[in-house]
Amino acid sequence: MATSSMHTFNPPVGVKSPYFQPLWLQQRQIRNFGLPFPLDSSYFPARTRRRPLLLKVSCQRRPGDVSVKYHRGSTNASVLECGETDNYTSQDNEFTCVMKFGGSSVASAERMREVAELICSFPEERPIIVLSAMGKTTNNLLLAGEKAVTCGASNVDGLKELDFIKNLHLRTVNELGVDSAIISRHLDELEQLLKGIAMMKELTPRTRDYLVSFGECMSTRIFAAYLNKIAVKARQYDAFDIGFITTDDFTNADILEATYPAVAKRLHDDWLNDPAIPIVTGFLGKGWRTCAVTTLGRGGSDLTATTLGKALGLREIQVWKDVDGVLTCDPNIYPGAEPVPFLTFDEAAELAYFGAQVLHPQSMRPAREANIPVRVKNSYNPMAPGTLITKDRDMSRAVLTSIVVKRNVTMLDIVSTRMLGQFGFLAKVFSIFEDLGISVDVVATSEVSISLTLDPSKLWSRELIQQELDHVVEELEKIAVVNLLQHRSIISLIGNVQRSSLILEKVFHVFRANGVNVQMISQGASKVNISLIVNDSEAEQCVRCLHSTFFESDPPTVLLGSKSGNGSIVSESNVC
């Protein structure tokens, strides 16, 4: 490898660039992360060897280029050395796209065979493959872990979830005709881990992440072995071993910037030494402080795929699902939902953030930063065009793109106890949320009152239970009158907010006809989202009615009589 060209390097003091992320690393961590430059022991003068070393890593890239600038010093002020690693240019970019296959796409031996065929049907592509765990595996691992806490170590081998996982994977290996030895160590370790959990009577977030990692570790090993068996040369990678460096937020970790050059370097070098299709575990990373396995939040393999796309500056990122693309609404709520042919990154990000299970909430970020198109396709129906997500699209005729619902949201109405003209009220409220580490979804304000909703996924992952909610209310009550409203839903209308009057006119017509009162409304700064808060019990029906109104040429007049606020039966058009 061409090493650093040494020169004086002034760190951009006070500048926070997304490509310049300071990391405090220890020697052991540097080795573990496999950072893409030679940091052997000679890099650590004796006096700093035991102390943390400040290493700043920045990744500079144009499409197809990856280079790393770094400097190191014993303190922020004294930079000892800096340099730049190899530059990989687009000519030697050996991969063309990422293809990510979700759990439903690799749920059985038959599905794995079909996916292998699908990959081979694109001979012009040199893909990197990302796989999730085989369908239902992650849920069964989590359930097994929870049961292990209380079932006692001697009963672990009788857990039906463990049995399901063993049977599924051994059957798949058998049916594909690959050697079961590739997963036997994992199955043994999994059982031991569950026994450990049973003995400790405890399942920490860190252990939970290690536990679910077995799903992706096994699916990728089986699939790589099968590709090799059919003479398609493939190499399996555990993401946590090739430089996917994350925060240590177990169960919901975030990818750190140093990941991009590390992963690019590893895949690039391996390809040059011995070309083989990389089969990478989705969903997993390595915590930068703990060096333990982390996960990126449920559905996180989408984020693995877009991270790889950005790391290698690829032409396209494909996420293969079990639906014909991103649909006009959740097909579980309304089976007549239609595929949306084009979306912008902003639309897709809002859609994912506000509850569309089809994409991981953070997955658009790397694709947007590197401006790499994301294509959502159906592995069960590869001929369907799918959804193409890009930076811009023609919005001239766009009105509503998709309707999303996020359930079980908690809403807070906060009214200042002071009179009008009291400045600093909003700042005080938000500083309380900041202190408590709680993120807020939707906000509507006046000078003396705020209505807001709390992110249910954050509540879930942080186990923010009633006690914590009570604590929030207690703190807020020092400056305001607070009304806590639970079991609400956010209905998000993703589309062209330039046409908000037209959209809202239709929406309120539907709601009025159905006797539904909107409890809060917010038009996001993103300009692609209008959010409305209704009762949980009303949400699905509202989505179905809105879908009929916006996406069907002949909306139903009356599907069902519905009681209006004063108890009378409404019989207007658009009552669903």
Ligand X SMILES: Nc1ncnc2c1ncn2[C@@H]1O[C@H](COP(=O)(O)OP(=O)(O)O)[C@@H](O)[C@H]1O
> Which residues of this chain interact with ligand PHD, rule CB under 6 A?
102-103, 132-133, 138, 215, 282-283, 298-301
CA distance 515 to 480: 31
Using CB distances below 5 to 8 A depending on partner kind, what does residue 283 bind out of ligand X, ligand PHD, none?
A: ligand PHD
Using CB distances below 5 to 8 A depending on partner kind, what does residue 145 bind out of ligand X, ligand PHD, none?
A: none
Give Cβ neighbours of residue 222 (< 8 Å, ≥ 6 apart).
112, 169, 172, 173, 176, 178, 182, 183
CA distances from 35 to 59, 71, 238, 490, 551 (A): 12, 13, 16, 42, 49
Q: Which stretch binds ligand X (CB under 6 A): 42-50, 183-191, 319-327, 476-484?
A: 319-327
The per-residue b/e assignment along 106-122, b for 16 or more CB within 10 angstroms, e otherwise, is bbbbebbebbbebbeee
Residues 271-300 contacting ligand X, CB under 6 A: 299
Q: Which stretch binds ligand X (CB under 6 A): 51-59, 181-189, 327-335, 521-529?
A: 327-335
- What sign does the dihedral 224-271-293-64 (CA atoms) show? negative
Using CB distances below 5 to 8 A depending on partner kind, what does residue 300 bind out of ligand PHD, ligand X, none?
A: ligand PHD
Using CB distances below 5 to 8 A depending on partner kind, what does residue 356 bind out of ligand PHD, ligand X, none?
A: ligand X
Least distance CB 210 / ligand PHD (angstroms): 14
Q: Phi, psi (5° rounding) for residue 374? A: -115, 130
Using CB distances below 5 to 8 A depending on partner kind, what does residue 278 bind out of ligand PHD, ligand X, none?
A: none
Nearer to ligand PHD, 319 or 429 (CB): 319
Which residue has its beta carbon closest to ligand PHD? 103
* Binding residues with ligand X: total (CB under 6 A): 19
Pick from 268, 269, 270, 239: nearest CA to 256: 239
- For ligand X, the binding residue among 161, 330, 346, 538 (CB under 6 A) is 330
Residues 189-228 contacting ligand X, CB under 6 A: none
- What sign does the dihedral 476-479-484-488 (CA atoms) show? negative
- Binding to ligand X by residue 488, rule CB under 6 A? no
Using CB distances below 5 to 8 A depending on partner kind, what does residue 298 bind out of ligand PHD, ligand X, none?
A: ligand PHD
Nearer to ligand X, 82 or 284 (CB): 284
- Binding to ligand X by residue 321, rule CB under 6 A? yes
CB 430 within 8 A of CB 403: no
Pick from 302, 358, 304, 291: nearest CA to 331: 358
Nearer to ligand X, 387 or 522 (CB): 387
- Binding to ligand X by residue 245, rule CB under 6 A? no
Report the 3 state secondary structure along 424-474.
Answer: CHHHHHHHHHHHHCCCEEEEEECCCEEEEEECHHHHHHCCCCHHHHHHHHH
Q: Which stretch binds ligand X (CB under 6 A): 316-324, 392-400, 484-492, 527-535?
A: 316-324
Least distance CB 255 / ligand X (angstroms): 18
- For ligand X, the binding residue among 128, 173, 255, 323 (CB under 6 A) is 323
Query: Residue holding tokens 């040059």?
Result: 272
Q: In this structure, are strands 480-495 and 529-535 parallel, antiparallel, or unpaired?
A: antiparallel
Q: What is the CA radius of gyration of the chain?
A: 26
Q: Which stretch binds ligand X (CB under 6 A): 30-38, 51-59, 99-107, 223-231?
A: 99-107
CB 21 within 8 A of CB 256: yes
CB 180 within 8 A of CB 167: no
Q: Where are the alpha helices (DSSP H) in 133-235?
A: 137-151, 160-176, 181-200, 205-229
Using CB distances below 5 to 8 A depending on partner kind, what does residue 71 bind out of ligand X, ligand PHD, none?
A: none
Query: Which pair of structure tokens corresponds to residue 234?
Result: 């493939």
Nearer to ligand PHD, 54 or 141 (CB): 141
Nearer to ligand PHD, 131 or 545 (CB): 131
CB 12 within 8 A of CB 91: no
Query: Which pair of structure tokens corresponds to residue 215?
Result: 């799903």
Coarse DSSP helix, strand, coil percentages of the chain, rounded to the nearest 5 percent = 40, 25, 35
- For ligand X, the binding residue among 22, 64, 331, 556 (CB under 6 A) is 331
CA distance 295 to 303: 11
Using CB distances below 5 to 8 A depending on partner kind, what does residue 197 bind out of ligand X, ligand PHD, none?
A: none
- For ligand X, the binding residue among 99, 253, 356, 539 (CB under 6 A) is 356
Least distance CB 362 / ligand PHD (angstroms): 12
Using CB distances below 5 to 8 A depending on partner kind, what does residue 358 bind out of ligand X, ligand PHD, none?
A: ligand X
Q: Count CA atoms closer than 13 A to 502's CA, side-chain side.
A: 11
Least distance CB 358 / ligand X (angstroms): 4
Task: Show the binding pattern over residues 377-406: x = contacts ligand X (CB under 6 A), - = does not.
Answer: -------------------------x----
Which residues of this protein are in contact with ligand X, per CB under 6 A?
A: 102-105, 132, 299, 321-323, 326-327, 329-332, 356-358, 402
